[in-house]
Amino acid sequence: MLASSQVHPSFMAHDEGNYALESRFMLESGEWLGRQTWGNVLYTHGILLNWLIMLSYRLFDLPSLSAEWAVRVTRLPTFIACLLAVALTYDVGRQIFARQRWPYAQAAARLGLLSGLLIMLFSVWTQFSHLATQDIMLVSAELLAIWALLRAEIQRAAGKRLAFGFLAGAMLGFGFLIKTFMVALPAIALLPYLIFEHRRHRHLTNWGIYLGLAAGFIPTVLWMGFSVAEYGPWVLDAMFGKVGELSEQPYHSDGGPLYYFWNIPVNMFPWALFSLVGAGMVLRSPSFWTGLFSFKSKTAYPHRWLLLYPFILTGMLTSFTTKTPYYALQLHPFLAWFAAIALYQIATQPRRWPRRLLSYSFSALGLVVTGIAIASLLIPAGLLTDIRPYAPIGLILGIGWALLPMFMHRPQRWLATWLIPVWLTLAMAGVAGFLGNYSAQMQAAATTEPAASLVRETPVDFVINPQQPPALYKDLIILALHTPHIGQLNRPVETIPTGTYVWVSKEKKVYRGEQLRPSEEPVRDVQSEILAAERESNSESESESNNESEDGLKYETVIELDNWRLIRL
């Protein structure tokens, strides 16, 4: 499924495009300590993703790559992290399922496999596993730490116990390199497991964990030390001030304390339903809560604090003023485990009415989706025209779920009928460009003729209004990523050599200097000059493409896009 989205890939401007462009600037400038953007240095996030993208660029020789292969290479670290996270979702789930005194222990391997298959069907997980961002990488580090802790529990040899403890501790330090202070939340959520179950696992006396913590933070300390020596103490202010900035200017704070309680079900439909049922099945057992804070070494649920981990983490995410859908990615492996329990129990239990209810309900939904898809293909015009591109995808999902009642009495086939249509749907969505292909038009404009041959050998400048709307800035990111030789941003026009190509945004006003404050009078309104020259050219009925503004700025318009134009001075 990951490969299907890379048939015709293109960058998403935010945040993937930012990371890709920063990494390219870092590679070309040789400045690897801080994230580089148009000559500015940023210290607001972790640096590990940028380093890995830089490594991919160097290994695969970025200048020799086509536009699509550049996107694939940029996403390679995320793909590897996603595969690791899915494998760990299976194995961590298998270990937890097998070690509890409950009916699911005998089916631990199948439940682990089912959870690994399910997590790739969660829409937010699916989207971010196709993007070069930090979030999937952070989840894989967290899962690797939990996996190492579980492995350390069962080791009798002191050396192996220390080694797995070292790995678990090191992941916290690497997590800081990935996404700085966001790694603190899962670390806090693990504390009840470490404290209240200490008599059983003895992690708090495992010196490997503490050595791993120290070793894991060594790269971070070196990075920050070299950065302060290179750029000054403001680096620490920028890094440690990020938490305060998010608190003062929260994102999606209007969602309120219930943001994740509606956002997760909407983005995970229908799997959130099974996650809720599975969580209820786990938590309803009286023995689960018996002696929760008693420090007993033997209980029916020795890993209950790991099963409560997602609820603790959700509470912390809810209390944080900034709320985004991708913060909840850290919950997805646990939601997959709960969903696997519910689906497996419903498929195999003697009571048939839950299976019948779900089968007929989603079969009806599948028929509705199929009918809408067919209607959009048959009706030439009308309200269904906009959904016609999605019709093949709707047919696959609709027909697949419509078959659910046929396999109600065959558990394995019933489970397969839930999963396979969604897998095929997402794979088709990837091939069709709905996953992984986010800026096809801008990518084509920058990498095909006539632009490709014009800018292949010469640096290209960019001029954009400092108060540009977000859409223009997104276009700027994509154009820059696919420009072989990136020039300068908002350089004073009079200093740009004759013959230079410049991408100019079609805003009302385009200022010449990036240091110019919006309140100051612009030195020159390039857009007005271009429009004035065009009006003069049209009034004289001249067919030539060369233009000249009233004050002598000569240029040639080479390419016209919706919001941008490529001119040659």
Q: Residues 527-538: pLDDT tens digits?
A: 444 444 445 544
Indicate if the pLDDT at residue 540 is higher than 70.
no
Confidence of residue 173 (pLDDT cuts 50, 70, 90): confident
SS3 36: strand
Instruction: Indicate if 134 and 43 belong to the same structural domain.
Output: yes
Final residue of a structural domain among 343, 361, 385: 343
How is residue 568 annotated by DSSP?
Answer: E
Indicate if the pLDDT at residue 471 is higher than 80.
no
Residue 364 phi, psi (nearest 5): -65, -40
* Angle, alpha carbons 377-379-383 (nearest 5°): 100
Bridge partner residues of 505 (DSSP): 564
Instruction: Indicate if 487 and 552 belong to the same structural domain.
Output: yes
Indicate if the pLDDT at residue 513 is higher than 80.
no
- Render 536-556 in DSSP notation, one character per residue: HHHHTT---SEEE-TT--EEE
Mean pLDDT, range 531-548, rounded to an integer = 47
CA distance 38 to 514: 11
Q: What is the 3-state secondary structure (H, E, C) of 460-528?
A: EEEECCCCCCHHHHHHHHHHHHCCCCEEEECCCHHHCCCCCEEEEECCCCCCCCCCCCCCCCCCCCHHH
pLDDT of 227 = 94
**DSSP strand pairing (486-489 vs 501-505):** unpaired
SS3 559: strand
Instruction: Indicate if 148 and 248 belong to the same structural domain.
Output: yes
Instruction: Indicate if 14 and 156 belong to the same structural domain.
Output: yes
Task: Give the whole-number percent of the chain exceeding pLDDT 70.
Answer: 88
Instruction: Indicate if 114 and 235 belong to the same structural domain.
Output: yes
**DSSP strand pairing (546-548 vs 554-560):** antiparallel
Instruction: Indicate if 373 and 512 belong to the same structural domain.
Output: no
Domain region containing 112: 4-343
| Tens digit of each residue's pLDDT (9 = 90 or more) over 190-228 | 999 999 988 889 999 999 999 999 999 999 999 999 999
Confidence of residue 339 (pLDDT cuts 50, 70, 90): very high
pLDDT of 472 = 82
pLDDT of 242 = 61
Confidence of residue 464 (pLDDT cuts 50, 70, 90): confident
Helices (H), 241-352: 242-248, 259-267, 271-283, 286-289, 304-307, 309-319, 332-348
Q: Which long-range contacts (CB under 8 A, 24 or more apart) does 294-297 make?
A: 294/196, 295/196, 295/198, 295/199, 296/199, 297/199, 297/200
Listed residue (434, 165, 150, 152) closest to 307, CA to CA: 150
Number of domains in the chain: 3
Mean pLDDT, range 114-132, rounded to an integer = 94
Better-predicted residue by pLDDT, 504 or 73: 73
Listed residue (250, 14, 275, 235) closest to 122, CA to CA: 275
Report the predicted TM-score, pTM, of the whole model to 2 decimal places.
Answer: 0.88
Instruction: Indicate if 425 and 469 belong to the same structural domain.
Output: no
SS3 308: coil
pLDDT of 551 = 46
Instruction: Indicate if 92 and 221 belong to the same structural domain.
Output: yes
Listed residue (177, 176, 196) closest to 186, CA to CA: 176
Residue given tokens 């350089």 in the structure block: 491
Q: Do 463 and 503 meet the contact criterion of CB atoms below 8 Å apart?
A: yes
Better-predicted residue by pLDDT, 109 or 528: 109
Instruction: Indicate if 426 and 456 belong to the same structural domain.
Output: no
| Tens digit of each residue's pLDDT (9 = 90 or more) over 404-431 | 999 998 999 999 999 999 999 999 998 8
Instruction: Indicate if 261 and 388 belong to the same structural domain.
Output: no
Say which residues have a Cβ less than 8 Å from residue 130's Cβ, sequence separation at least 6. 2, 5, 6, 75, 78, 430, 435, 436
Task: Give the whole-number percent of the chain exceeding pLDDT 90.
Answer: 56
CA distance 292 to 444: 59
CA distance 54 to 304: 41
| Tens digit of each residue's pLDDT (9 = 90 or more) over 20-70 | 999 999 999 999 999 999 889 999 889 999 999 999 999 999 999 999 999
CA distance 430 to 7: 8
Say which residues have a Cβ less than 8 Å from residue 502's Cβ, sequence separation at least 6. 460, 461, 462, 463, 487, 496, 566, 567, 568, 569
CA distance 355 to 358: 5
- N-terminal to C-terminal alpha carbon distance within the chain: 46
pLDDT of 143 = 97
pLDDT of 357 = 94
pLDDT of 24 = 96
pLDDT of 195 = 92
SS3 565: strand
Instruction: Indicate if 129 and 253 belong to the same structural domain.
Output: yes
Listed residue (491, 485, 492) closest to 458, CA to CA: 485
Average pLDDT, the chain: 86
Final residue of a structural domain among 432, 464, 482: 432
Mean pLDDT, range 318-341, rounded to an integer = 92
Instruction: Indicate if 246 and 286 belong to the same structural domain.
Output: yes
